[in-house]
């Protein structure tokens, strides 16, 4: 269902990412320039049997023919890689992730855990002190309290993302997967976000199937991925920006597409979006902004689900992010017995994840805890 008319939007060209598209028989039809550069060779026109072991190539082709996604480890032109194959419009989309053999994690997991605990402990004290403050007597004091509260939400979000990215880099990021209705989660988030985006002057439209779309996924992490992408689109905005979020079913995958008309991402930054940027990029200010954890986490979460995260962008035109989530993954998940503790410690999930994009005026309410956030009735 769509709640705001927006008109036609143009989907941008293919991302300059480590991707290749293969025919149903396994012939390589397209290779991105970044993958050609990384391999120092163009694989266009070759067969999967030429670059992967015969048994693996046969397995990939068979699973694609059955409409199933597949993740696997192998070597590509002598380099250790992890790949994710997704059937797409009759062909196969293969995303390649190169092993960072000589590249240590941005932060050791033990250090990230210690820092996250310190942030969480300090925030608990800060929120308690904030709640004990007397009511603001004038607009200036009210605004100051809103800025303080928003800053605490930002620290909480950074601590969560920092810890999860460290876990992902060390291979210890885990999912709590359950068979759930993705449409329900998608609809709830869009109903919350749409009026917020409109209030800050960014038209927001969304569309999803009328009925349920069940698949196995980690609700918390998929929620954070979607809200993190929305936050980026709202944060790096410009005049006449607009955001459109779509959930649809393609073959045997749930596909989420976010397209905006924001600033876009410089081509020099695109190759580093999902990993720790080189120091030279940081020194020249080439990063899009922020700590950069949300996109790293998005890629890690989608990969663990057996899906993909693809970004395409044109500077001064906008960005499109496409997430794919297999409805019937080839590797079954172990359903955990107990739900995970609330990562937001009872605070509003949407306000938390959008804390770097919304103005401070959204944070002027008292810092009350609630187990869940209410969704307004569907229009």
pLDDT computed for residue 180 by the predictor? 94
Q: Does some domain include residue 161?
A: yes
Q: Which residues pair with 326 in a beta bridge?
A: 253
Q: What is the token pair recorded at 233?
A: 């689109």
- Assess whether 75 and 185 both reside in one domain: no
- Assess whether 190 and 324 both reside in one domain: yes
- Assess whether 140 and 203 both reside in one domain: no
Asked whether the beta carbons of 29 and 21 are under 8 A apart, the reply is yes
Q: Does some domain include residue 373?
A: no
pLDDT computed for residue 369 by the predictor? 43
Domain boundary, last residue among 98, 128, 161 = 98
Q: Does some domain include residue 295?
A: yes
pLDDT, tens only, 189-216: 999 999 999 999 999 999 999 989 999 9
Asked whether the beta carbons of 256 and 245 are under 8 A apart, the reply is yes
- Assess whether 116 and 184 both reside in one domain: no
Q: Treating both helix axes as pointing N-terminal to C-terminal, what angle do 293-304 and 139-169 enclose, rounded to 10 degrees?
A: 50
Q: What is the token pair recorded at 323?
A: 């997430």
- Assess whether 264 and 357 both reside in one domain: yes
Spatial CB neighbours of 277, under 8 Å, sequence gap ≥ 6: 269, 286, 287, 292
Q: What is the CATH number for 49? A: 3.30.450.20
How many residues comprise the chain?
A: 379
One digit per residue, the tens of pLDDT, for the chain of length 379 reads 434 333 333 332 334 468 899 999 999 999 887 788 778 788 989 999 999 998 899 999 999 988 888 888 888 888 888 888 888 888 999 988 876 544 455 556 777 788 888 888 888 888 888 888 888 888 888 899 999 999 999 999 988 888 888 888 777 888 889 999 999 999 999 999 999 999 999 999 999 999 899 999 999 999 999 999 999 999 888 888 899 999 999 888 999 999 999 888 887 777 767 765 444 344 333 333 455 678 888 888 998 888 888 888 888 889 999 999 999 886 655 555 556 778 888 889 999 999 999 999 998 854 444 334 344 334 3
Q: Does some domain include residue 4?
A: no
- Assess whether 235 and 354 both reside in one domain: yes
Query: In angstroms, how far is the first alpha carbon of the chain from the final one?
Result: 10
Number of domains the chain contains: 3
Spatial CB neighbours of 189, under 8 Å, sequence gap ≥ 6: 223, 226, 227, 230, 350
- Assess whether 290 and 356 both reside in one domain: yes
Q: Is 69 helix (H, G, I), strand (E, B) or coil?
A: coil
pLDDT, tens only, 15-50: 446 889 999 999 999 988 778 877 878 898 999 999
- Assess whether 258 and 299 both reside in one domain: yes
- Assess whether 147 and 184 both reside in one domain: no
pLDDT computed for residue 217 by the predictor? 94
- Assess whether 43 and 153 both reside in one domain: no
H-helix or E-strand spanning residue 168: helix 139-169
Q: Does some domain include residue 228?
A: yes
Q: What is the CATH number for 310? A: 3.30.565.10
- Assess whether 182 and 310 both reside in one domain: yes
Q: Does some domain include residue 13?
A: no
pLDDT computed for residue 118 by the predictor? 87
8-state DSSP, 47: B
Q: Does some domain include residue 204?
A: yes
Domain that holds residue 155: 109-169
Distance (Å, rounded) from C-alpha 221 to C-alpha 298? 9
Q: Phi and psi for 341 in degrees, rounded to 5?
A: -65, 150
pLDDT computed for residue 255 by the predictor? 94
pTM of the model: 0.69
Q: Does some domain include residue 358?
A: yes
- Assess whether 343 and 263 both reside in one domain: yes
Distance (Å, rounded) from C-alpha 216 to C-alpha 222? 11
């Amino acid at each position: 269902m769509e709640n705001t008319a927006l008109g036609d939007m143009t989907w941008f060209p293919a991302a300059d990412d480590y991707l290749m598209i293969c025919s149903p028989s396994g012939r390589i039809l397209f290779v991105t320039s970044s993958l050609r550069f990384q391999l120092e060779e163009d694989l266009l026109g070759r067969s999967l049997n030429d670059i992967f072991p015969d048994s693996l190539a046969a397995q990939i082709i068979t699973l694609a023919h059955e409409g199933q996604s597949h993740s696997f480890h192998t070597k590509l032109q002598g380099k250790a890689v992890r790949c994710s194959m997704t059937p797409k419009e009759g062909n196969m989309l293969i995303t390649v992730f190169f092993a960072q053999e000589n590249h240590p994690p941005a932060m050791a997991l033990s250090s990230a855990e210690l820092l996250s605990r310190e942030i969480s402990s300090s925030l608990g004290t800060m929120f308690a002190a904030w709640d004990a403050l007397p009511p603001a007597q004038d607009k200036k004091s009210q605004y100051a309290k809103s800025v303080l509260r928003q800053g605490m939400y930002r620290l909480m979000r950074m601590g969560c993302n920092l810890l999860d990215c460290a876990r992902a880099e060390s291979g210890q990021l885990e999912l709590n997967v359950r068979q759930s209705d993705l449409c329900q989660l998608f609809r709830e988030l869009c109903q919350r976000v749409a009026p917020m985006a409109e209030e800050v002057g960014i038209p927001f439209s969304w569309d999803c199937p009328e009925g349920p779309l069940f698949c196995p996924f980690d609700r918390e992490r998929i929620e954070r991925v979607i809200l993190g992408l929305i936050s980026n689109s709202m944060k790096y905005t410009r005049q006449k920006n607009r955001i459109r979020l779509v959930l649809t079913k393609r073959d045997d995958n749930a596909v989420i597409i976010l397209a905006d008309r924001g600033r876009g991402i410089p081509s020099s930054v695109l190759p580093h979006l999902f990993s720790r940027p080189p120091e030279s990029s940081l020194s020249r200010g080439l990063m899009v902004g922020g700590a950069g954890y949300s996109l790293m986490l998005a890629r890690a979460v989608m990969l663990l689900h057996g899906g993909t995260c693809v970004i395409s962008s044109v500077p001064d035109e906008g960005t499109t992010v496409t997430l794919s989530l297999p409805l019937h993954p080839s590797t079954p998940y172990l359903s955990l017995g107990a739900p995970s503790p609330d990562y937001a410690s009872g605070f509003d999930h949407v306000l938390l994840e959008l804390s770097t994009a919304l103005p401070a005026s959204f944070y002027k309410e008292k810092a009350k805890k609630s187990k869940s956030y209410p969704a307004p009735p569907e229009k």
